[in-house]
A = this chain, B = another copy of it.
């Protein structure tokens, strides 16, 4: 028995099968495409046998070349490290499977330049469509795709100047839900932590909705004055996770607030799981295992460790987001011409110990 991986005997082609079955390529092709009604049972049987004997499998690339569609779609991901991404991917995989599509997954690892290259590469493979969940997506970045008539569906963010379907969380509602929950739980000093949001629509929306929710409550003079301030107070803390040193610098502001709060427990609203994790790790390092007695953390996204550490979250319907994105894309590929659609799915508040004391 050899210990060298053996090398291949060339694969059977449609021509081989035709010869083996004693017929023409056309009939084989018909068989492959399920046009059974135009094949005599006898021929059909011969073809079946020949295929089995040769262990024949049609070459998708050749088919694609001929018919102009290869059933490949591209999926561009900014960050596989984010559990959100992986969950969306599951929905994508499932939908692709159901619709007979094959996703080409590209992971840009948070590098804008890499996103550009991948998009261009996908174009080269003639994918029939693209699902994009990336950072640096602007109209220009997507030009190689959209400009060539390849339909695109955006996940979790809009791109201005670009007309395309989008599917994602209802960010406004989610941020509002979280903020209200904190307010209703008695927290009146809330810090909203978010990554730099100039470029990313979903982050913008979350932050804006947070501020509005705070202001709405601050306006209501129904609550008594507290610590000299009427109503609730909100702060926005920007954390650039790409730069550890910068994070350290930004976060001191928060540390000071926590120290100053003394006995009162501050609330921290993380715009997504990576931010929440960053905060939790920092707080744990600074205040020890018992950090949650100093601060109430709430996060959009529902990572594994939220349950384990008792952190309240707003879970996104990630699987469905991925699934819907593929469905939209599939429709476009099939030629649907309706106006661009926005599909906003609701988040679900999962209350845990961090906010329910």
Per-position binary interface string of chain A over residues 104-129, scored 1 when its CB falls under 8 Å from any chain B CB and 0 otherwise: 11110100001000001101111000
CB contact list, A153-168 vs B, under 8 A:
163-165
Q: Are A124 and B57 in contact (CB under 8 A)?
A: yes
Q: Are A308 and B281 in contact (CB under 8 A)?
A: yes
Stretch at the interface among A197-205, A219-227, A251-259, A334-342: A334-342
Residues of chain B contacted by A93 (CB below 8 angstroms): 106-107, 109
CB contact list, A51-92 vs B, under 8 A:
55, 57-62, 64-65, 70, 80-81, 86, 89-90
**A280 CB–B CB distance under 8 Å:** yes
Given contacts A121-B102, A126-B61, A309-B309, contact A5 B332 (CB under 8 A): yes
CB contact list, A25-70 vs B, under 8 A:
55, 57-62, 64-65, 70
Per-position binary interface string of chain A over residues 138-155, scored 1 when its CB falls under 8 Å from any chain B CB and 0 otherwise: 000000101111111000
Query: CA–CA, A3 to B164, complex, Å?
Result: 8
**A307 CB–B CB distance under 8 Å:** yes
**Which of A9, A120, A126 counts the most B-chain CB atoms under 10 A from its CB?**
A126
Number of interface residues of A (CB under 8 A): 71
Q: Are B2 and A163 in contact (CB under 8 A)?
A: yes
Residues of chain B contacted by A70 (CB below 8 angstroms): 61
Residues of chain B contacted by A123 (CB below 8 angstroms): 57
Residues of chain B contacted by A61 (CB below 8 angstroms): 61, 64-65, 70, 125-126
Q: Are A60 and B107 in contact (CB under 8 A)?
A: no
Q: Are A60 and B125 in contact (CB under 8 A)?
A: yes
Give 11 A-B contacts (CB < 8 Å), ordered by A residue.
Answer: A3-B163, A5-B332, A5-B340, A6-B146, A7-B335, A58-B124, A59-B126, A61-B64, A61-B70, A81-B90, A281-B308
Binding site for B on A (CB under 8 A): 1-9, 11, 55, 57-62, 64-65, 70, 80-81, 86, 89-90, 93, 97, 102-107, 109, 114, 120-121, 123-126, 144, 146-152, 163-165, 277, 280-281, 284, 289, 303-305, 307-310, 332, 335, 337-340, 353
